[in-house]
């Protein structure tokens, strides 16, 4: 069996290239939510670059002048709340060299043919404490490279990292200032009233879930969007169509009792609902996990257009449920019920800006989250299909071994 070798330089801290403000900044209650405290890992694979590590290192330092909180460290306020200390310590950065071309590892398409630890940045545990972000640039013998990123979701998730990386790209291409200047603004998000929590802590069930990746072509998606317009007289989004297809295919594959509850959850942005208080350039967490529920029989037997309608109706309720959440209504708490096999949680990465990051040699061949197996949550990611394909790549870990073949068959059946 061939052994692939990646040689890493020692991790170094890349701080802002100019002086930046000091002091501590508050995080919003959305940033501080316990479900938001996890490390997001992703890879961004490029076909060609000329000394990309050197270019990106310098561009990152310039970008951190504007996104200086990302160069800071998490801290705890006098009130015991999570906040960011703007220390200017910097982002951990690793440069690496691979002794093989990208094509030898299938261009790093999933499942990976090498260890993810080879292409993601890691530092000693004592240095990792309270770090906001880490980055690694690995150069391959073919001239291609991959940018591996690890970041704490509390700083803003994919949208926050996407905003920073867009500025890194702009600095790499010679811009003196970012096209959209970042703004903190997290103090503008009100803290909700705290509901009384009763009862024992939730119990999480272990699940053994299989990974699957399927590309849904754009011509199929557009055909369904046009059909929805004809039948319902309303527009629907690419996300609506693909989510309906995934939810129905999964429900049918699971062969549940018709009365069993099935749910699909996704983070709906609430930035537009708070446009009067949030500044332009805001890059923090600002969303509400919407959940659509229906009996398995209804989801499995409905037309796909009816499933799209269920999703659209849930999205139309966003302002109502979000307002109740801010008011402290426990029934509007999106995290009140523990996940089970009936729940599918979906993240849409197709519009966070990762796929458009061009350092000067073209957009990435593909972008992918690297998600460790989560035995407590059935999950899925929507990405742009790798070029030259047009459409959505659906990456899931949401069905057991007994159901994965049926799920794949139904998901790839494009009638």
CA atoms of 349 and 272, how far apart (whole Å): 18
Q: Cβ neighbours of residue 322 under 8 Å, at least 6 residues apart?
A: 270, 273, 288, 332
CA atoms of 85 and 129, how far apart (whole Å): 13
**Which of the following is catalytic: 153, 355, 366, 403?**
153
Residue 304 backbone dihedrals phi, psi, to 5 degrees: -65, -30
Q: Is the preceding omega at residue 388 within 30 degrees of 0, hence cis?
A: yes
| Residue 178 to residues 70, 72, 171, 175, 281, Cα–Cα distance (Å) | 16, 20, 7, 7, 10
Name the residue among 384, 354, 397, 122 with its Cα closest to residue 250. 397
**Which of the following is catalytic: 18, 261, 358, 402?**
358
- Told to judge if 240 belongs to the known catalytic residues of this protein, a careful annotator would answer no
CA atoms of 86 and 22, how far apart (whole Å): 5
Residue carrying the six token digits 């990792």: 128
90: left (phi over 0), alpha (psi -120 to 50) or beta: left
- 117: helix, strand or coil: helix
E-state strands within 157-251:
210-217
E-state strands within 219-327:
261-269, 287-295
Dihedral, 166, 171, 177, 179 alpha carbons, nearest 10? -30
- Told to judge if 153 belongs to the known catalytic residues of this protein, a careful annotator would answer yes
* Residues with active-site annotation: 153, 358
């Amino acid at each position: 069996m061939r052994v692939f070798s990646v040689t890493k330089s020692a991790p170094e801290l890349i701080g802002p290239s100019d002086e930046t403000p000091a002091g501590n900044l508050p995080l919003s209650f959305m940033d501080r939510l316990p479900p938001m405290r996890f490390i997001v890992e992703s890879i961004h694979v490029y076909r060609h670059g000329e000394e990309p590590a050197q270019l990106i290192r310098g561009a990152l330092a310039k970008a951190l002048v504007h996104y200086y909180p990302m160069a800071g460290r998490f801290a705890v306020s006098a009130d015991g709340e999570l906040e960011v200390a703007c220390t200017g310590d910097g982002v951990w950065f690793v440069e690496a060299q691979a002794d093989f071309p990208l094509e030898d590892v299938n261009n790093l398409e999933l499942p990976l043919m090498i260890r993810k630890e080879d292409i993601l940045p890691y530092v000693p545990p004592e240095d990792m404490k309270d770090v906001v972000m880490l980055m690694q640039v690995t150069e391959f013998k073919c001239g291609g490279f991959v940018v591996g990123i690890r970041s704490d979701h509390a700083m803003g998730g994919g949208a926050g990292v996407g905003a920073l990386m867009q500025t890194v790209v702009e600095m790499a291409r010679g811009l003196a200032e970012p096209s959209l200047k970042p703004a903190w603004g997290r103090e503008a998000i009100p803290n909700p009233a705290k509901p009384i929590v009763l009862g024992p802590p939730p119990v999480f069930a272990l699940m053994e879930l299989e990974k699957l990746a399927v590309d849904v072509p754009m011509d199929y998606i557009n055909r369904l969007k046009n059909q929805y317009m004809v039948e319902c007289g309303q527009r629907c989004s690419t996300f609506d169509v693909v989510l309906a297809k995934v939810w129905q295919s999964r429900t049918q594959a699971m062969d549940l009792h018709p009365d069993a509850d099935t749910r699909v959850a996704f983070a709906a942005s609430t930035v537009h609902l708070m446009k009067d208080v949030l500044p332009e350039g805001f890059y923090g967490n600002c969303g509400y996990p919407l959940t659509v529920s229906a009996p398995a029989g209804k989801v499995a037997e409905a037309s796909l257009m009816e499933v799209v309608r269920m999703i659209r109706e849930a999205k139309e309720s966003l302002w109502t449920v979000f307002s109740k959440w801010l008011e402290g209504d426990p029934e509007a708490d999106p995290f009140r019920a523990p996940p089970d096999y009936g729940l599918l949680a979906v993240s849409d990465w197709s519009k966070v800006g990762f796929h458009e990051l061009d350092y000067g040699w073209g957009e990435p061949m593909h972008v992918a989250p690297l998600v460790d197996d989560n035995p407590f949550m059935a999950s899925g990611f929507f990405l742009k299909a790798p070029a030259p394909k047009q459409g959505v790549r659906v990456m899931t870990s949401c069905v057991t071994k007994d159901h994965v073949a049926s799920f794949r068959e139904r998901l790839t059946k494009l009638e």
